[in-house]
A = this chain, B = another copy of it.
Amino acid sequence: MKVAVMGYGTVGSGVVEVIESHDNVITKRTGGEPLEVAHILDLRDFPGDPHEKLFTKDFNDILSDDEVRVVAETMGGVEPAFSFTMKLLKAGKSVVTSNKELVAQKGLELLEAAEESGANYLFEASVGGGIPIIRPMSQCLAANNIEGVAGILNGTTNFILTKMIEEDMDFSDALKLAQDNGYAEKDPTADIEGFDACRKVCILASLAFGKHVYPNQVATEGITKITLEDVAYIHSIKGVIKLLGQIKYISDDKIAAFVSPAVVQHGSQLASVNDVFNAILVRGDAVGDVCFYGPGAGKLPTASAVVADMVDAAKHIERKKIFGWGAGSEDYVVDYKSTIEMPFYVRAKANKVKIQAIFGEVKFLSRIGQPSDEVAFITDRMTENALDNKLAGVDVINIIKVTNY
C-alpha cells in the first residue's frame, strides 16, 4: 500500500527509516501488504538523501494520488498541518500523527471529519512517544470507570528534575545539560513551562472521558520555581518532585485537569521514572492502578508508534476505529483550585509557631543547611484556594502539590 509522509524532520525521517528497515514485521502485521512511501512532503531540500525522488513541496501531489490511502503527519504545529490533515480526511485518506499540538487544539474537528468520510485519524505517537497508551487506555475504559490519570509526559523536564534529584545539579545547569544533549530546544519554554505536557493532558483527558479538553482549560505550571532546597526537603520524606499531568473524574459532566510539579512518594511507579522516560498511570475502579512506561520521545521510538498506527490504518481501510470523543464545553473542566482537595508541600520564611497557629499539627520537614527562619511542611488535605487563604499573611517561597499516586 502506498503511503506518504508529511514533514521530514526528526520523527518524519524516522518514520521513513522504520518503514524501510521493518518491512518484514510490517508486512506480517498488515496481513501481507508492505507499506511503500510514495511521497515525502517538506519545503526544505535534502540534497543527497537517498529518497530524493520522493520529495515534493506540493501538498496536492499527495492529496491527488488516489493510491495513497494512509498519510503520516509529522510536521508539528497547527498550520498548515491542520488544513492538510482536514483535506486528506475529507478525501477519505487516513491520517496518523505525532503532532500533539494539533490533536490538542483541533482533534475534535479532525475526528469528526474522519467520522464523516470513514477514514481513520490515529494519534498514538502524540502522547508518550513510543509508549502504547491510546489503545491500552481505551481497553481499560471498556470495563472500568476511570477515576484518574497521572502522567510524566515530558521527557525534557523529567531529565532536568532527575539531574536535580540524583546529582544535586541546579535547575539552570540541568537545563543547559539537557540542551547540550539535544533533549531541550534552544528556547525551552514549551517544555519547562509545562505547555508540552499540557497538550498531552488534553489528549489523554479527551480520550479518557470522551469530551474534548482544550489547552486553555488546563491550569499549567512548569518547573522553573523548583530549587535544590525543595528537592532536599522532599527527599527527607522519601519523595521526589515530578512534573505531572493530572486528570480527575468528578462527574460525567465535570473533570479536573492540571499540569504542575508534584510530590510523588518512593514506591510509586511514577517515582522511579527517570531521565527522558515517560510514564502514564491510569486508575480504574475495577483494575486499580496500571502504569505504562517507556521512551516519551526520540526519533525511532516515536517513529515506531507512528508506523504502528499506519499499519493499523492500513488494516482498517474499509472500517472505522472507534478512538474518538465528542465536544466538551467551557465549564467542563472545573477550577481545580476550588474543588480538588490534596495535601501540599509549603516552604516559607516563617517559624514553626506561626505555622502551627495557622495549620495546627503539621509535618515539618528539614534539610541540611536549613536557615533558622525557614520552614517546610506538609499540610492536611485541602483545596488550593483554602491553602492560599490560610497563607495570606505568610512569606511563602514555594508550594507543591502532593499526590496519592
What residues make up the interface of A, taking CB atoms closer than 8 Å to B? 18, 21-22, 25-26, 28-29, 31, 124, 130-132, 135-136, 139-145, 210, 267, 269, 271-274, 284, 286-295, 298, 300-301, 303-305, 307-308, 311-312, 315, 319, 322
Contacts and interface: CB of A to CB of B under 8 A. Distances in A.
A113 to B, nearest CB: 20
A18 B286 contact: yes
16 contacts: A22-B286, A25-B142, A26-B143, A29-B141, A130-B286, A130-B287, A135-B136, A135-B139, A140-B304, A142-B308, A269-B273, A287-B294, A289-B295, A290-B293, A290-B295, A291-B294
A288 B284 contact: no
A279 to B, nearest CB: 8
- Interface SS, A side: mixed
Contacts of A304: 140, 143-144, 284, 286-287
A282 B130 CA distance: 12
Contacts of A18: 143, 286
A135 to B, nearest CB: 5
Contacts of A288: 130, 294-295, 298, 300-301
A31 B132 CA distance: 23
Contact of A143 (B135, B290, B308, B319): B308
Contacts of A303: 143, 286
Given A25-B141, A139-B135, A287 B272 contact: no
Contacts of A292: 136, 290-293
A284 to B, nearest CB: 7
A267 B277 CA distance: 12
B290 A131 contact: yes
A135 B137 CA distance: 11
Contacts of A31: 322
Nearest to A310: B143
Contact of A136 (B25, B26, B132, B284): B132
Given A18-B286, A272-B272, A288-B294, A312 B142 contact: yes
List the number of copies, as a whole number: 2
Residue among A139, A271, A300, A315 with the highest chain B CB neighbour number at 10 A? A139
A140 B140 CA distance: 18
A284 B28 CA distance: 16
A130 B290 contact: yes
Contacts of A143: 18, 22, 25-26, 303-305, 307-308, 311
Contacts of A291: 292-294
The 7 closest A-B pairs by CB, nearest first: A290-B294, A143-B307, A286-B304, A130-B287, A132-B136, A142-B308, A291-B293
Contacts of A290: 130-132, 292-295
Given A136-B132, A288-B294, A272 B271 contact: yes
A50 B315 CA distance: 44
A132 B22 CA distance: 25
A65 to B, nearest CB: 23
A365 B28 CA distance: 47
Contacts of A293: 269, 290-293
A307 to B, nearest CB: 4
Given A18-B143, A31-B322, 7 more contacts: A130-B288, A132-B290, A135-B135, A136-B136, A143-B303, A291-B292, A292-B292
Residue among A25, A287, A322 with the highest chain B CB neighbour number at 10 A? A287
A390 to B, nearest CB: 35
Contacts of A315: 322
A171 B322 CA distance: 48
A273 B279 CA distance: 14
Nearest to A268: B272
Nearest to A291: B293
B22 A308 contact: no
